[in-house]
Structure 1
Amino acid sequence: MGGRLGRISGGGGLLFVLLLVVDNAIRAGAPHFGASGASVTAYAEGHRTAMVVPIALFPLGLIGLFAFTAGVVSATRADRNARWWAQLGTLSVVTIAALFSVVNLVEAALVADLHDLASAPEVASAMWAMDGAAFGLNLAAIAVALLGLSRAARANGLVPAWLAGLALPGAACLLVASVFAVPIAEGAAWLFVGLAGFLVWALFVLITGVALARRPV
């Protein structure tokens, strides 16, 4: 794959990270997992734009992540071991897409059916718990994607050794947090354990994206 596709792959990674930052900034005021259905519907009613914009941006983020992953995989075509790690990471990225789709589907349904849900807070509460559980379980997929893609990227010189080393504890934090998906859905603080790994994931995609854009893959 030539330099043009390398730039597309790298640009996809940078787009993904940019949208992560935007998404989290917009969602900063959202109810915490475990919040009551009444709180969730009240927030959605008063902050419709903050609910709708991340959902609208989600497909763009997926395109960016898929392009980035394709670039890492293409860079490993001459190395069998690296290719194995890249394939492991690719399967995990597919899982990330599936579980984050669940998150966005739940939130889209909350917004679309807000009028009825306002009078049925128990339903809204159950939907918000599903949202939190899907998010918690997705931390495991991010952990394996970080591990697999970072090893593949390191084998091909896309990332420095310190970043590949940092990916190991980052993935461990994500994996540990994912085990507690139910407490996360209930509002427990285990989500913050995964936050450290999530930041490593974003840093990895950022640095690798720049590397892909700068060289043919």
Structure 2
Amino acid sequence: MSTTTLPDVRVARDEQIAGALALALAASLAVQNAVVIWVGAPSYADPMTEVLAFHADHRSAVAIAVGLEALNLPLLLGLLVCMVGLVERRGGAGAAWSRLAVAAGAVLSAVFALYAVLWIGVVLAADGLTEPTPLLELVWQMHAGAFALVMPALGTTFVAVALATHAGGLTAPWQRWLGLAGGGLLVVAGTACLPIADGSSLLFVGMPGYAAWLVWLIATGVRLVRSAS
């Protein structure tokens, strides 16, 4: 006779779902960044002539990156909601952090949507141009500003979900410190929104935090899938 109870099966199923969502989100983010790097997307400090040339020649690459953003949003929100349920089922330790993670994730999704829409605007504004215009430059700078705001929203989400899952015993101790360090870097970098929109290299302060987020997603996904199995 099986000793596995129905609640145990449900918890295992939810852990598998959360782990799969974490891995799917990490894969989508990795592909998205690989596409942008592969085609040599300009930085926010590059001259507008290079920005125009890139968006005139790589419309399909931007379409892929923006399309993946539409996939990232439900994956992110689904993962955070699953984490809330798992934390609460483990006695509620870290429940406040998990609710903060969902709230911050909702803000993050909204800012990512703005970032994607403005990137679409850059492509449309560049269509048919032979030289940069003030409108193209403005939309590009707003796109940069939106990315700068993504960083503190992601940092808050990262810190909150790392603390919540650690308190609930869902992740390894080192992942809590990864979340605090990586999320902290993202928040610090995001305070320089205006300089980043103007092309400042302060943007790169947050890049190690973004890499830490990918590592955390992969580690968490593998851990939850294995635990459920």
Q: Would you call these one fold, judging by a TM-score over 0.5?
A: yes
2:218 equivalent among 197, 200, 206? 206
Contact kept? 2:148, 2:197, Cα under 8 Å? yes
**Which residue of structure 2 aligns with residue 13 of structure 1?**
22
Unaligned stretches of 5+ in structure 2? 1-9
Whole-Å Cα distance in 2 between the matches of residues 8 and 208 of structure 1? 12
Aligned pairs for 1:1-217 within 5 A: 1-28=10-37, 29-78=40-89, 79-115=91-127, 121-215=133-227
Larger Rg: 2
Bigger Cα displacement from structure 2, 108-117 vs 14-23: 108-117
Provide closer, same or farther for how the CA distance between residues 145 and 113 of structure 1 changes in structure 2, counting only shifts above 3 A. same
Secondary structure at the counterpart of residue 190 of structure 1 = helix
Q: Cα deviations across residues 13-58 of structure 1 (Å, max 9, x unaligned)?
A: 1111111111111112111114344322211111111111011111
Whole-Å Cα distance in 1 between the matches of residues 132 and 117 of structure 2? 19
**Which residue of structure 1 aligns with residue 5 of structure 2?**
none
Whole-Å Cα distance in 2 between the matches of residues 147 and 33 of structure 1? 27
Contact kept? 1:10, 1:71, Cα under 8 Å? no
TM-score normalised by L of structure 2? 0.87
Q: How many residues align structurally? A: 216
Give the CA deviation at 1:119: 5.7
Unaligned stretches of 5+ in structure 1? none
Provide closer, same or farther for how the CA distance between residues 147 and 27 of structure 1 changes in structure 2, counting only shifts above 3 A. same
Bigger Cα displacement from structure 2, 84-93 vs 201-210: 201-210
RMSD: 1.8
Contact kept? 1:143, 1:174, Cα under 8 Å? yes
Identity %: 27
